[in-house]
Amino acid sequence: MADTRVEPGKGPAAPARRSQTMQRVQTQVRVVRKWLTPGLGIKRWLILLGIGISVISLTVAELFLQWFGGRSLPGIVQLITLRFLPPPLRVIVGMAGGLVLIGIAFYELNRSILAPFGTQWGESLVDAMHHFQRRNKGSRVVAIGGGTGLPAVLRGIKSHTTNITAIVTVADDGGSSGKLRRELGVLPPGDLRNNIAALANDEHLMTQLLQYRFDTGGLEGHAFGNLFLTALANITGSMDQALVEAGRVLAIEGQVLPSTLADVVLCAEIRTPEGLRQVKGESQIPEVSGAIERVYLEPASARPYPDTLRALLNAELIVIGPGSLFTSILPNLLVEGIREAIRASSATCVYVCNIATQKGETEGFSVSEHVHALEKYIGEKVIDVVLANSATPTKNAGEHTHYVPLPAPDDPLRGRYQVIEADLTDPHRPWRHSPVKLNRALLALLNKQPDSAPVGK
């Protein structure tokens, strides 16, 4: 029988191992060459660091020799160790000089090494380190919605934590988003853009840039942010990867995720004076005069984006709303698996009711009717807390603002959920939520005592 033993270092796998070893060696050689490149500002300070350590070492050696009665060090060493000075002064000056050299070397090395990591928005290194440390700390918050309501949550809560996930609807089919969706086949970027702008590190600048709309030429009506995300989606191959890259480029405080990557269409059954009418398209639903009886997605089998489920299951606080109930909030909850993830999560789930009713969707709705409409799709006691606005300011409100009435003291809603009432209005646009006031109310929920545990689930 033939001997099939293979000597060490030989056999079919040996060339591959040798090739990998050579690649590692070549990589290390390239790294060393880069460190030795002139002008890096590293080598000179390493040399200075070495000199400082040597001065202290020689001073300590001279001190020991004097203590133990030995001969002093000869030649140039006596000059370095300041032998011409009296013994006490010699030690003090030598130690101090060595420490100064080491301090200068460390300072310059840190500056040279850390300078490339300065943020592109002119943020100081201390601020950058603070934000980096805070990114993986703080409460895990997930906000669900779309439109202009959800950014109010994000703007407020990002001052408390950067562990924020915004889950956004992709059912938009109107305006710039709808045009890009139809012509280029991408997920509608509009709601995604709004929430990225809200989470941006330099929000003032990013909001102006991402929300800028061209008003002339072939790009008329398009928001720059929509074009930016569409271009990134084409470069990276998908909108979800585009959102990751956009988050890096814009240094956003958290992440924005689509509820699904499927090309979904929001449909509705609306009761009109002429009878029940079927309407297709998110932008078309508010245009039909009538009562919305049901909304649904086509296809109904749209799968959720996996990261959205993970975020929901790991959350400490889930915020639903504010936003258009039927066209911004429910399209997320209609995606298969989203409701189940919310129910399975141990997070406190709060529904933030709109401040004012919305024409074509919730005309005449009270807080209770908003919650009842939500319960039709997600069931009872999936949410734990209802956060409702209690203020009805007239200043800046205008004649078209109709505030959502609070539930009556004996309303059954108060028995099923914890209902929290607070002034949540923006002073300049009272039909919208103030990020500061909303953040204050949400933080109170996050910081509540364990004995006030949520009611549901």
Taking CB atoms within 8 Å and a gap of at least 24, the contacts of 227-230 are: 227/180, 228/193, 229/186, 229/189, 229/192, 229/193, 229/196, 230/180, 230/184, 230/186, 230/189
Query: The tokens 């109310």 sit on which residue?
Result: 441
- What is the CB neighbour count within 10 angstroms for residue 67? 9
> What are the strands, taking DSSP E only, across 325-452?
348-352, 385-389, 418-422
Q: Which residues, including other chains, have CB under 8 Å from residue 400's CB and lie 6 or more apart?
A: none
Print burial letters for 34-45: b (CB count within 10 Å at least 16), e (below 16). eeeeeeeeeeeb
pLDDT in tens, 183-222: 999 999 999 999 999 998 766 777 788 889 998 888 988 9
Q: Hey, where are the domains in the chain?
A: 43-117, 133-452
Q: Residue 40: its pLDDT value, please?
A: 63
Q: Residue 148: its pLDDT value, please?
A: 83
Closest listed residue to residue 51, CA positions, set 101, 94, 96, 95: 101
Quote the CA–CA distance of 289 and 278 in Å, as a whole number.
12
Q: Residue 454: its pLDDT value, please?
A: 43
- Give every residue of the chain whose pLDDT is below 70, as ranges: 1-18, 35-36, 39-41, 62-85, 87, 90, 113-137, 202-203, 449-457
Quote the CA–CA distance of 307 and 163 in Å, as a whole number.
14
* Residue 295 parent element (H or E): strand 291-298
Q: Residue 449: its pLDDT value, please?
A: 42
Cis peptide before 299 (omega within 30 of 0): yes
Q: Residue 49: its pLDDT value, please?
A: 80
Exposed/middle/buried for residue 428 (C-beta within 10 Å: 0-12, 13-18, 19+): exposed
Q: Residue 129: its pLDDT value, please?
A: 59
Tell me the H-state helices in 237-385.
239-250, 306-314, 330-333, 338-344, 367-378
Q: Residue 253: its pLDDT value, please?
A: 81
User: If you compute the radius of gyration of the chain from its CA atoms, what whole number of angstroms results?
Assistant: 32
Name the token pair of 331: 């399209």
Q: Residue 447: its pLDDT value, please?
A: 82
pTM of the entire predicted model: 0.73
Name the token pair of 43: 């080598």
Tell me the H-state helices in 86-236.
87-114, 125-135, 150-157, 175-184, 190-199, 203-210, 224-236
Q: Residue 455: its pLDDT value, please?
A: 41
Backbone torsions φ then ψ of 280, nearest 5 degrees:
-115, 135
Tell me, what DSSP letter sits at residue 85? S
Domain 133-452 belongs in CATH node 3.40.50.10680 = yes
Q: How many CA atoms lie within 13 A of 79 on its CB side?
A: 2
Tell me the H-state helices in 328-407.
330-333, 338-344, 367-378
Q: How many CA atoms lie within 13 A of 74 on its CB side?
A: 0
> What are the strands, taking DSSP E only, across 305-450?
317-320, 348-352, 385-389, 418-422
Q: Residue 453: its pLDDT value, please?
A: 41
